[in-house]
Amino acid sequence: MKVCIVGVGAIGGMLGARLSERGECEVSAVARGPTLDSLKTHGWQLQEGGRLIRSRVRATNDARDLGPQDVVIVAVKGPALASAAAQIAPLCGPDTAVVTAMNGVPWWFGYGTKIGDEPLRSVDPVGQIAAAIPIERVIGCVAHLSAASIAPGISRHVKGRRLVIGEAMRLGSVSARVERCGQLLSNAGFDLSTTADIRYEIWYKLWGNMTMNPISAITGASTDQLLADPLVRNFCSAAMEEACEIGSRLGCSINESPEDRHAITGMLGPFKSSMLQDVEARRTIELDGIVTVVREIGQRLGCSTPNIDAILGITRLFGRVRGLYP
């Protein structure tokens, strides 16, 4: 079985290293710059549990070198997806599955819902991604784990191993190819769940990330510090209530309160959000797939989002002033 990782950052590097170590499939990578140099010289490198996992990998900056794959795992940051999408076509044969292991709401999220089949402009402004990656190929993936990219081509596993996968097309059941991908990832050491409703899983994770990520990026605070401030905590809760209303209209109703979710976040202990890590590394922030898109969906559904608007406006300005958001 051939598996290609497109985007070897923290999550992509962890997925590639663990799949390669298991040895059930041939794992290649599409990367560029210093990350590509590192992969060619040192192979997969993952720091985990006091040990360094290393294995050889065929890495290239041109997907045409690799040919059709059985599974393509896309793990790039949201802002890089439009350019990365062009590398997907040479990797796809008739039955290739494309697994999107990314933060936030993907471009295909609206298909088959009340917001319509038109790609979400916040994440796919001109439909370039939708044209390059047909939804029929897509398996959505939600990662409930923490990892960091400590150097080009080197990932460090922090905590958690849970992955949830399901068809982007609403089939009403778990498909055979989702089961196959799930078994592959489970054998590689991930706590794997399959679902017939991946949109709910995406929305539920977003429900917490939509506030913790941008506010931590602006303030430089870890999640425990954010939750310890009652004014910040209440502001997050108010924005989450707006997202709950949007979700309920989409068929992604969340039967928890914001305080329930804060309690879950609190149990994870102090950690830096992925967006804060991007700010500290001077990388472009993933604002559109985590916040802008929520506002867009709210507008399409006629939902008022004053608190989400405030988070978006302040974080967008913060990013632009620092050259981290276009």
In the predicted model, what is the mean pLDDT of the chain? 95
pLDDT at residue 223 is higher than 90:
yes
| Residue in 154, 151, 150 with CA at minimum distance from that of residue 14 | 154
Tell me the pLDDT tens digit for each residue of 307-316: 999 999 999 9
Is 205 designated active site?
A: yes
Same domain, 34 and 124: yes
pLDDT at residue 172 is higher than 90:
no
| Residue in 211, 296, 311, 196 with CA at minimum distance from that of residue 246 | 296
Beta bridge mates, 28: 4, 58
pLDDT at residue 249 is higher than 90:
yes
Same domain, 179 and 252: no
> According to the per-residue pLDDT averaged within each range, which of 73-87, 228-242, 255-269 is highest?
228-242
- The dihedrals phi and psi of 110, each to the nearest 5 degrees, come to -80, -15
| Residue in 278, 214, 269, 276 with CA at minimum distance from that of residue 243 | 214
283 sits in the region (left: phi over 0; alpha: psi -120 to 50; else beta) called: beta
Tell me the pLDDT tens digit for each residue of 71-130: 999 999 889 999 899 889 999 999 999 999 999 999 999 988 888 888 899 999 989 999
174 vs 151: CA distance, rounded Å: 37
Same domain, 128 and 49: yes
Same domain, 136 and 96: yes
pLDDT at residue 286 is higher than 90:
yes
pLDDT range class, residue 272, cuts 50, 70, 90: confident
The residue-averaged pLDDT of 204-225 equals 96
Tokens of 129: 């991604």
pLDDT range class, residue 267, cuts 50, 70, 90: confident
Angle of the 258-267 helix axis to the 230-250 helix axis, nearest 10: 120
* Assigned domain for 326 exists: no
Same domain, 255 and 176: no
- Structure-model confidence comparison of residues 203 and 112, the more confident one: 203
Same domain, 192 and 204: no
pTM: predicted TM-score of the whole model, two decimal places: 0.93
* Assigned domain for 182 exists: yes
Same domain, 152 and 251: no
If one counts the domains in the chain, the total is 2
* Assigned domain for 22 exists: yes
Last residue of a domain, one of 166, 196, 226: 196
* Assigned domain for 67 exists: yes
324 vs 284: CA distance, rounded Å: 4
Tokens of 183: 């078994």
Same domain, 220 and 130: no
* Domain of residue 80, residue span: 2-196
Q: Of 2, 40, 77, 205, which is the active-site residue?
A: 205
* Assigned domain for 103 exists: yes
Last residue of a domain, one of 179, 196, 213: 196
Same domain, 130 and 273: no
Same domain, 84 and 110: yes
* Assigned domain for 17 exists: yes
183 vs 191: CA distance, rounded Å: 10
CATH number of the domain enclosing 103: 3.40.50.720
| Residue in 256, 140, 141 with CA at minimum distance from that of residue 208 | 256
